[in-house]
Homo-oligomer: A and B are copies of this chain.
């Protein structure tokens, strides 16, 4: 039997959902679309307007007709606080309900100092930004955070995160809800990077993989237009897939031959050091490639091929129409992408690749923080949450 999620028909929240496409509508049009009486539509719209979710849109006059007031979604009704936390820095932002950036800032921090200090720094920064942007009078809708490790999305608690052990099991939502009194959603940064690319640069793409190549390697996967988190929130973990014909480089996970141990920024730098080239980070590798260093160029192209071998398996499994490659090491540009394309197109069946594009990140450094905002917006504008709020 098909799944049967139950939803109250034509509640205020569902009327608002209709209007999220941005098209202004008259009360009569909304009555027609929903099958509700005009009186019922009026009551629901009044509730939405009372909460600030609607603006009186343009008054248009159809030829020969009467003027009709149109109502439109008011994306400025609430603000969203978002942050994309990395190992040594965070991107912090304030957005509106359409995901538009109202303010953003890059903050140096050390995630290993633990959740209280890091979340405290985020909270101070958000408060400053809201104040400086003159947004103190606008109600807050919610808070969204991306963290550099596995997160149990349903509870918002980090799950044995390797680079931030003191965060394990910490109640991130509880901590921030006590301070801000709004919903707080948490996910890992690569899932949010995928959400951000999808929401802002590829909204019509139903099946896509967003790969982040940096100190580690991970991905986020959009299936049927929705983020696929998997049973334990661990989906997209490309970094520990075994590389075909890989060298047996030891990996921090306890296995050997993992993609991350062979083709991450750290692995490429280590390989270059072994050849006497001075490189320690993704940034060093990228700088060498840009300066024309031949060995760095070859190493990064080979890393691209290796990543492509693993992506080829993912392409066979999930048949995306788009792969987006981002992360520090992707700043090396075409060298990495060329290697990825070479391996994916060599190892995949024609049906799976005839309409497959492999492109660099289009949303760039703000993909993660925009994804954090998109996650919150999706939640707070869902009909059930809107209806609950309107009481």
Contact = CB atoms under 8 A, between A and B. Distances in A.
A320 interface: yes
Given A1-B20, A2-B378, A4-B17, A309 B242 contact: yes
A236 interface: yes
A178 interface: no
Interface in A136-166: 150, 159-160
B21 A4 contact: yes
A6 B206 CA distance: 17
User: How many copies of this chain does one complex carry?
Assistant: 2
B231 A355 contact: yes
Given A231-B321, A232-B354, A245-B245, 19 more contacts: A4-B18, A6-B33, A8-B34, A160-B351, A223-B223, A223-B228, A231-B320, A232-B321, A232-B352, A234-B349, A235-B318, A237-B317, A238-B317, A242-B309, A242-B312, A310-B313, A313-B313, A313-B317, A317-B317
If over half of A's interface residues share one DSSP class (helix, strand or loop), that class is named, otherwise mixed; here it is loop
29 contacts: A1-B20, A2-B378, A4-B21, A9-B9, A159-B351, A160-B351, A206-B231, A221-B318, A223-B223, A223-B228, A224-B228, A230-B320, A231-B320, A231-B356, A232-B351, A234-B319, A237-B319, A238-B316, A240-B316, A240-B348, A240-B349, A241-B316, A242-B244, A243-B244, A244-B257, A253-B349, A255-B346, A313-B314, A314-B317
A11 interface: yes
A209 to B, nearest CB: 9
A347 interface: yes
Contact of A241 (B237, B246, B312): B312
A36 interface: yes
A58 interface: no
Top 6 A-B residue pairs of the complex, sorted by shortest distance between their CB atoms: A230-B319, A9-B10, A231-B321, A235-B319, A9-B9, A223-B223
Interface of A: 1-4, 6, 8-11, 14, 17-18, 20-22, 33-36, 40, 98-99, 150, 159-160, 199, 203, 206-207, 219, 221, 223-226, 228-238, 240-246, 253, 255, 257, 309-310, 312-314, 316-321, 346-349, 351-352, 354-356, 374, 377-378, 381-382
Nearest to A236: B317
A315 B144 CA distance: 27
A72 B235 CA distance: 39
B242 A1 contact: no
Contacts of A314: 313, 317
A382 B3 CA distance: 11
A61 to B, nearest CB: 26
A385 B36 CA distance: 21
A34 to B, nearest CB: 4
Contacts of A349: 234, 237, 240, 253
A18 B33 CA distance: 20
